[in-house]
Copies of this chain bind each other. A is one copy, B any other.
Amino acid sequence: MLLRMSNLFLRTLREDPADAEVPSHKLLVRGGYVRRAAPGVYSWLPLGKIVLENVARVVREEMDGIGGQEVLLPALLPREYYEATGRWDDYGDTLFRLQDRKGADYLLGPTHEELFTLLVKGEYSSYKDFPVILYQIQEKFRDEARPRAGVLRGREFHMKDSYSFDIDDEGLQAAYDAHRAAYVRVFERLGLEYVIVSATSGAMGGSASEEFLAVAPTGEDTFVRSTESDYAANVEAVTTPAPAARPIEGLPEAVVHHTPGTATIQTLVDFLNAAGLGRDFVEADTLKNVLVKTRAPGSDEWELLAVGLPGDREVDFKRLEAALEPAEVALLDESDFAANPFLVKGYIGPRALLDNKVRYLVDPRVVTGTAWVTGADRDQHHVIDLVAGRDFTPDGTIDVAEVRDGDPSPDGKGTLYTARGIEIGHIFQLGRKYTDAFQVDALGSDGKPKRITMGSYGIGVSRAVASVVEQSHDDKGIVWPREIAPADVHVVGTGKGDQIEEALRVAGELRDQGLRVLVDDRKGVSPGVKFTDAELLGVPTSVIIGRGLKDGLVELRDRATGEREEVALGDIVERTVAACRG
């Protein structure tokens, strides 16, 4: 490959685009890699197309390496398949929907679980046919509410999606593990710093799931990691270690107090500390009972749910939704309180909840033998020293309290802190959600039908390009890892003599050595502009053919380290090849 900048369809920009906030958006636009066509919809220009294809190649090689078979499915999909799995509705506004000339409903594929499931159902029927892993690299469409950050979160984007089909859970686990290992190799080759976090499922349905997050302060995903281990997880997936149960014997009796004007935790604590009870209270001594309502999928009935948690913590609604999925969850409104007069706002306690058969789940910290200040189910009254396991027995635990910096890491090593990342990969044990929907069975070795189990696995190919730039840039421009760089070497000819001709000659030789070469052979462009462009474009190695040429000297530059070295012209090809091949 030899690209000449004198005719390359490339114009760099000195100014950041007005709508750009994150580095990858700014630099990919300024470097002429992408151009915006519509909100969240981008065109890939020649150098961008090369980088995108390089990422796709890495993904393809690693998918082939685990026995994945490449196919290509359409983007235009009939409603009926997504209706069968409920995703036509579940996806909400995020799905692009359209009608054809006959009024039939279609959608633009956001992911392809349905079609792959049907494809396998159509071809395979015996346990001998399995396992199989199919993948494609293809455009996906999602009508994001807030498309932003260039190709980081687009509405039309490039994704590798793969699907595993197995006869049993062990097979699914093996396919999942193989994908996990392949993803590690992909992201290592892309030079990305990433974490693997436990994840919840979203609209996909299913169980075990991990996300690969590229660590970046500009990331949209929050996750927590440990100060002292590799532990990392989505906030939704953090598990709170339960303390050991404590002995109940000898604990004081529960006593109801008149606590006027204490409908909030802070006013309650202040009241108690001012009440001369002979001890100090903090918010963590109180048990807050938060009421919500839930509705099972397909049901019309809302059911009350109470969540009991230490008063110094709020319920994290995202964690709550994840914990209750696939049920819906909503806050109570006034009519709910009116219909349940035993709920005394600000003074709700376990007693009334349990007496009235409200499902009551508590934070893992609320173990047997812990004593709490909590509502007494009477206006202006609280009870002190209400002991879990003695005075009330909740229906179970639910781990939905907010996670805070400094909380102990679930693996027992260090404490948690919050970081941000970009989701670049997702692996997912779907189980039988889709094969149940489409009744995909294979005849087992025992002659009986077995329901197939399934995994789905995604890599954001276009997003990976932007994620690399988020992590690998400086104030001058992009610093591409060699594996996906648009070229191995950028040969720059500067000056008014025969430097440009010499640059073309050297470039040709480097190309003949098998390198992918970009050569700046533009006439009438100043050396400063050429150097600025080279740094912005971010090719790993540069060869500068400039004023030193008259003395037989050229310069070899390394974009990442900034190192520069004068090299004799006669040695430059060999030295450059060595630098590029490392």
Contact = CB atoms under 8 A, between A and B. Distances in A.
A97 interface: yes
A139 B108 CA distance: 13
Interface stretch (A69-77, A169-177, A538-546): A69-77
A75 B43 contact: no
Interface stretch (A116-124, A276-284, A406-414, A450-458): A116-124
Contact of A11 (B70, B76, B123): B123
B9 A74 contact: no
Contact of A93 (B48, B97, B101): B101
Given A71-B45, A124-B11, A132-B9, A76 B141 contact: yes
A99 to B, nearest CB: 8
Interface in A97-113: 97-98, 100-101, 106, 108
A41 B155 contact: no
Contacts of A10: 123
Main secondary structure of the interface of A (DSSP, over half): mixed
Contact of A76 (B46, B115, B155): B155
Contacts of A35: 119, 122
Interface string A389-419: 0000000000000000000000000000000
Nearest to A92: B101
Given A7-B67, A11-B123, A77-B38, A72 B100 contact: no
A145 interface: yes
A579 to B, nearest CB: 27
A143 B106 CA distance: 12
Q: Which of A72, A73, A132, A145 has the most CB of B within 10 A?
A: A72
Given A75-B139, A76-B38, A96 B98 contact: yes
Contacts of A9: 69, 71, 123, 132, 134
A78 interface: yes
Contact of A43 (B73, B93, B156): B73
A342 interface: no
Q: Which of A32, A94, A139 has the most CB of B within 10 A?
A: A139
B74 A43 contact: yes
A88 interface: no
Contact of A7 (B76, B132, B155): B132
B46 A70 contact: yes
Interface string A131-173: 0101000010101010000000001100000000000000000
Contacts of A78: 37-38, 41
A438 interface: no
A49 B37 contact: no
Contacts of A38: 74, 76-78, 106
Interface in A31-61: 32, 35, 37-38, 41-46, 48-49, 52
A52 B72 contact: yes
A131 to B, nearest CB: 9
Contact of A75 (B7, B44, B48, B75): B75
A148 to B, nearest CB: 15
Contacts of A7: 67, 132
A74 B132 contact: no
A156 B141 CA distance: 15
A66 interface: no
Given A67-B7, A73-B37, A100 B143 contact: yes
Interface in A247-287: none
A437 interface: no
A141 B109 CA distance: 14
Given A37-B115, A96-B100, A115-B37, A74 B42 contact: yes
A44 B69 contact: no
A143 B132 CA distance: 34
Given A9-B123, A132-B9, A72 B44 contact: yes
A44 B74 CA distance: 9
A35 B8 CA distance: 39
Given A98-B96, A100-B96, A101-B145, A49 B77 contact: no
Given A76-B141, A97-B98, A98-B97, A119 B43 contact: yes
Nearest to A98: B98
A139 B76 CA distance: 10
A525 B538 CA distance: 55
A106 to B, nearest CB: 7
A571 to B, nearest CB: 31
A98 to B, nearest CB: 4
Contacts of A143: 100-101
Nearest to A155: B76
5 contacts: A11-B124, A35-B119, A43-B73, A49-B71, A139-B139
The 7 closest A-B pairs by CB, nearest first: A98-B98, A93-B101, A44-B72, A11-B123, A38-B78, A43-B73, A41-B74
Given A9-B71, A11-B123, A139-B139, 17 more contacts: A9-B69, A9-B132, A10-B123, A35-B119, A35-B122, A38-B78, A43-B72, A44-B72, A45-B71, A49-B70, A75-B75, A75-B156, A96-B100, A98-B98, A100-B143, A101-B143, A108-B108
Interface of A: 7-11, 32, 35, 37-38, 41-46, 48-49, 52, 67, 69-78, 93-94, 96-98, 100-101, 106, 108, 115, 119, 122-124, 132, 134, 139, 141, 143, 145, 155-156
